[in-house]
Structure 1
Amino acid sequence: MSGGHSTYTPTTGIGRWIDARMPLPRLMHDSFISYPTPRNLNYAYTFGGILSIMLVVQILTGVVLAMHYTASTLLAFDSVEKIMRDVNSGWLLRYLHSNGASMFFFAVFIHIFRGLYYGSYKAPRELLWILGCIILLLMMAAGFMGYVLPWGQMSFWGATVITGFFTAIPLAGEWVQQLLLGGFAVDNPTLNRFFSLHYLIPFMIAGVVVLHIWALHVTGQTNPTGIEVKSKTDTIPFTPYATVKDALGMVVFFLLFAYFVFYLPNFLGHPDNYIVANPLKTPAHIVPEWYFLPFYAILRAITFNIGPIDSKLGGVLAMFGAIAVLFFVPWLDTSKVRSAVYRPWYKLFFWLFVVDSILLGWLGSRPAEPPYVVMAQLATLYYFGFFLVIMPVLGLIETPRRLPNSITEAVLAKNHGSAAAHPAGAAAAPETKA
């Protein structure tokens, strides 16, 4: 699917001159115009393009905000207020950036769920999936460090709590914490480190995204059937078909984005972060941003010692393990069928996993007290059970539905099914006319 002769033909002398020396226009044409795309892609596949646009939005708004931000514990909070009040359109830039982070994570979670549902991680796309997991890790690092920069109460205490968990790591824990903090407590060196890394990481993400797209174009796009492309009839050119579908998906997504920016700009933040950081006053409930809440719930769910591992270290291992397990999904899923469309039992367990992930997010926002702790422990058990038990076992015992012979056959069968579902309406039209 990724191979084939290029159809790009320069039409001007300048175009031919550039193409002979640096065929960038040919690369763009072959990647985004004539690139063969499975003809049955649905709107769940638009989130890759949405994420690319969101990354550009975050980088552009972040660069401009950095021009006005001061990475100092004495001035950081006031510099953010100055951006909001005195910089031309500063309020818009800040709300685009802060809400853009939430929209970025919202889109990436849907992108991951889509990959799990349609088996986008299976051979030969293991490296494509791993690169996506690396992007997720970098996003989480950037998101955490960015949350500290406004220097509000949640910024300060969130950094204090999260970096404090590194001390649970034997031998190297305190060294890692001091490396992050630049000292023994969250202070000015911490803010400078986090600002530098928060500025750098998005460009690292952009580099990995290029590799991610490259790997996608080498192995080819998956599709809802999970069947590989077998002939030209299974594909359509990326432009205009997939382009128009992606554009519509982006418009709907950015309408949602705009709604939060202009009508609910602070809805996804915490009110305590609009109070300047005070090391002498601890908030009643310290919680991270919403996109970290599922992992925060897993961290707090480990309230017991596991052999020589105490509860604090166990929580840290569970939290990082919840992300690390994603890297091994291509080998944990033993089924030869990719798509959940043809796996009835896997489909059931997958949707339970989605509900479980949402439940973990809600539990992460609740106090660490009964009954929330027990609920978090059960939800954590299912989270890891889905990957470590259900995926490997189900692939061996599940009987999948019959797969179509090709993508074209699946599309035609779906169209015929839709037509057969409304025979009365088709017959009623001429009768009504008569």
Structure 2
Amino acid sequence: MAIGLHDSTISNPVIRWVDQRLPIFTMMQKEYGTFPTPRNFNYFWNFGALAMVTLMIMIATGIFLAMNYTPHTSYAFDSVERIMRDVNYGWLIRYVHMNGASMFFIVVYIHIWRGLYYGSYKAPRELLWILGVVIFLLMMATAFMGYVLPWGQMSFWGATVITNLFSAFPIVGEHIVTWLWGGFSVDNPTLNRFFSLHYLMPFVIAGVVFLHVAALHITGSNNPLGIDPKGPQDTLPFHPYYTAKDSVGLVVYFIVFAFLVFFTPNMLGHPDNYIPANPLVTPAHIVPEWYFLPFYAVLRAVPDKLGGVLLMFGSIAVLFILPWLDTSPVRSMRFRPIAKWALFLWGIAFVVLGWAGGKPAEQPYVLISQIATAYYFAYFLIILPLLGRLERPLALPESIALPVLRGGGPLPAGAMAKPMEKA
């Protein structure tokens, strides 16, 4: 073999010729073929792959929509209607894109829940978790700017209310709002810059996803037991075992996605957004998209505007320091009986915040939001650090293979590790 060529093992002569000069096929085989993964993954581990598929769908449909969209306040609403009525299959592309945003957040919220329950944020995966939170923030920014583009009533007033939140910051707040607007009100410059950034951000997300996956392949995947593989008996090659399992999840996912698109395409949207934007008519009840409602409820839980804004941003910022707030040596909540129920209560509080965020800013919804917000922060800042020191976890299995081969049943006493052994 010539000096400088990669020693490719691929049999196809054409692909081998390429792989010798650019070993991308060898890399794919290593990272997605023979890559060792824990043998006890459950279907919660499908949601990372589902998120990647959804991102690709959103980018593809977004490119086609941008070809027919006009980012101007006088034409934006009409251009969306033209896409729906006159462009071949424009209605389908738009409904896939619109519901794809909701499906993206559903998948990511479940993905985050899995990380919280199985301790995927703990060492050595802290940076992997932080990159995931960055992706979540970029998703939120992208979704907010995309919601403005149809230039309906809720688009316009949602943009006005949310961008005005930055005015709460002393000294620089008004300047930030003027910069976001590109003027002194939400108008054509605002729509233009939101369209430009909405088109750009998914590619930034794709770049961070690449780093997220790279970090995953360095540290290896977590698993439901939260213990590290002890040898080859604890792992399986990613292909064909988990490509097949992901395919099953993908089929179910597309069935749900198709049901939304073809039978209830507007179920997760707001009817006011089918009314052209009118700066002179304020909607009776301004609400963001459903996936922002928990954080919107946190914002409204505090009477002070600046306090509410800081608390809303803090509800996401606390996720960045979560790996250091949880002081328990055990990863998986399966072996932490008290922390598990505390996490379930946190999940209930999050759902309650989403429900309260969609209600008017009046009693009893404000009080309910305040109680749920208090528990949201107490779980991260008080309960987890204390339980990490006070709770006595259940005994951990000695290996991944042992409970798998026994069908997940109870283990003999001799097959258990010390109760406080670090996972």
Residue of structure 1 equivalent to 2:371? 378
User: Is the 2:95–2:261 contact (alpha carbons within 8 Å) kept by the matching residues of 1?
Assistant: yes
Are residue 359 (structure 1) and residue 340 (structure 2) matched?
Answer: no
Amino acid at match of 2:42: N
CA positional deviation for 1:201: 0.2
SS of aligned partner of 1:37: strand
Give the TM-score normalised by structure 1.
Answer: 0.92
Residue of structure 2 equivalent to 1:138? 138
Superposed, 1:195-274 pairs within 5 Å as 195-274=195-274
Amino acid at match of 2:205: I
User: Is the 1:99–1:260 contact (alpha carbons within 8 Å) kept by the matching residues of 2?
Assistant: yes
User: Is the 1:135–1:208 contact (alpha carbons within 8 Å) kept by the matching residues of 2?
Assistant: yes
CA positional deviation for 1:239: 0.9
CA positional deviation for 1:341: 0.6
Superposed, 1:321-400 pairs within 5 Å as 321-400=314-393
User: Using the alignment, how far apart are the partners of 2:7 and 2:401 within structure 1?
Assistant: 24
User: Using the alignment, how far apart are the partners of 1:388 and 1:250 within structure 2?
Assistant: 36
Amino acid at match of 2:83: I
CA positional deviation for 1:416: 4.7
Paired residues in the alignment total 406
Q: Of 295, 305, 308, which aligns to 1:315?
A: 308
Cα pair distance change 1:153/1:382, threshold 3 Å:
same
SS of aligned partner of 1:406: coil
SS of aligned partner of 2:236: strand
Q: Which segments of 5 or more consecutive residues in structure 2 lack a partner in the other structure?
A: 1-5, 412-423
SS of aligned partner of 2:37: strand
CA positional deviation for 1:254: 1.3
Root mean square deviation, CA, Å: 1.3
Residue of structure 2 equivalent to 1:50? 50
Residue of structure 1 equivalent to 2:123? 123
User: Is the 2:46–2:246 contact (alpha carbons within 8 Å) kept by the matching residues of 1?
Assistant: yes
CA positional deviation for 1:171: 1.6
Amino acid at match of 1:71: P
CA positional deviation for 1:8: 7.0
User: Using the alignment, how far apart are the partners of 1:416 and 1:378 within structure 2?
Assistant: 39
User: Using the alignment, how far apart are the partners of 1:397 and 1:417 within structure 2?
Assistant: 26
User: Using the alignment, how far apart are the partners of 2:14 and 2:71 within structure 1?
Assistant: 47
Show CA shifts across 1:348-372 (max 9, x none). 0111111111110000000000000
User: Using the alignment, how far apart are the partners of 1:350 and 1:140 within structure 2?
Assistant: 23
Show CA shifts across 1:193-245 (max 9, x none). 10000000000000000000000000001100000111001011111111111
User: Is the 1:7–1:30 contact (alpha carbons within 8 Å) kept by the matching residues of 2?
Assistant: no
Q: Which segments of 5 or more consecutive residues in structure 1 lack a partner in the other structure?
A: 1-5, 304-310, 419-434
Residue of structure 1 equivalent to 2:110? 110
CA positional deviation for 1:33: 1.2
Amino acid at match of 1:370: Q
Cα pair distance change 1:31/1:281, threshold 3 Å:
same
Q: Which runs of 4+ in 1 moved over 6 A?
A: none
Residue of structure 2 equivalent to 1:40? 40
Residue of structure 2 equivalent to 1:423? none
Amino acid at match of 1:324: A
User: Using the alignment, how far apart are the partners of 2:271 and 2:10 within structure 1?
Assistant: 56
User: Is the 2:146–2:194 contact (alpha carbons within 8 Å) kept by the matching residues of 1?
Assistant: yes
Are residue 279 (structure 1) and residue 279 (structure 2) matched?
Answer: yes
